[in-house]
Amino acid sequence: MTSKFSRARILRSKTIAFLFKKYLTIFIGSIIAAIGLEWFLVPNHVIDGGVVGLSIMGDAVSDLPFEFYMIVLNIPFVILGYKIIGKNFAIATFIAICFLSFWTDMLEGRFLFTEDPFLAAVFGGIVDGAGVGLIIRAGGSLDGSEIVAIIADKKTVFSVGEIVMFINLFILSGAGFLFGRDYAMYSLVAYFVIAKMIDVVIKGLDESYAVMIVTNLHDEVTKELNSKLKKGVTLLHGEGGYTGDEKKILYSVVTRLEVDKLKEIVLDIDENAFITIYPVNDIVGGRFKKKSH
């Protein structure tokens, strides 16, 4: 009984710690995103895509504030997210939207970092993208267009990314009618900077790659990878599709900085080795550790 109680208490403590970290990240991300919007983008009539962009334009053409549009326009998407993705995502998204709305209201009109629209697009995009990336990494979202894209992806031949881009081209075109063609182009620059910055925050600057190596000298290659790269290697059993010969396939995960070294090690041992390398978005568990060189 005591053991069960202790395990339950430890599990509850871990859950509380996880939720605290999750919502602290969302809180910090919302502050950073609000700074990107209110110190750079909004005062220079540069908009982001999605619901944020629509909210900025709604604020510009009416007496209703950005915060009103941000919450009201996102409510249907939060409900969709609850039904399609799950309760945790919906709650995190709604809290992120509320945090962002609060901080944009707090920061509105208090400071302007630059009056140059191009600089605002680039640096505002970096700051805003960093904040949005933190929110997404914590399991939330600020934009309902991704949820629409997920639904449409199941019913059309287009990918989620293509659908999001299609939606945002209409929104960014609206910036051209509202603020002028130059500002539509500045907004397009900001959109791409934000998208890239989100990727950097989610994936990290030091990306990981999964590597599969087909070689007849698997023992020697495994030994050298363990010795020189300090990497664990998993041995998979395969068969040649044409010859039917048994093949040993080595699988490992390395950082971007280790890819060239791995190829050098493998090809020095077996110049006929076949190597495939592809990016990994996330790694959970195992003994993999990123390290700098």
Q: Which of 28-37, 75-84, 106-115, 158-167 has the highest mean pLDDT?
A: 28-37
For the ranges 7-11, 115-119, 285-289, the lowest mean pLDDT is seen at 285-289
Buried b (16+ CB within 10 A) or exposed e, 98-107: bbbbebbeeb
Query: Within its chain, how far is the Cα of 76 from the centroid?
Result: 22
pTM for this prediction: 0.74
% of residues, the chain, pLDDT over 70? 86
Residue 41 DSSP one-character state = I
**Region 125-136 average pLDDT:** 92
Element (H, E) at 234: strand 234-239
Is residue 165 a contact partner of residue 41, using CB atoms and an 8 Å limit?
Answer: no
What is the residue extent of each domain of the chain? 7-203, 208-280
Q: Is 270 helix (H, G, I), strand (E, B) or coil?
A: coil
Per-residue pLDDT tens digits for 245-261 = 777 899 999 887 788 88
Per-residue pLDDT tens digits for 84-105 = 778 888 899 999 999 999 999 9
Distance in angstroms (rounded) separating the CA atoms of residues 27 and 96: 7
Structurally, at CATH architecture level, domain 208-280 sits in 2-Layer Sandwich (3.30)
Per-residue pLDDT tens digits for 171-199 = 888 888 888 889 989 998 998 898 888 88
Distance in angstroms (rounded) separating the CA atoms of residues 40 and 115: 8
Q: Please say if the pLDDT value at position 156 is more than 80.
A: no
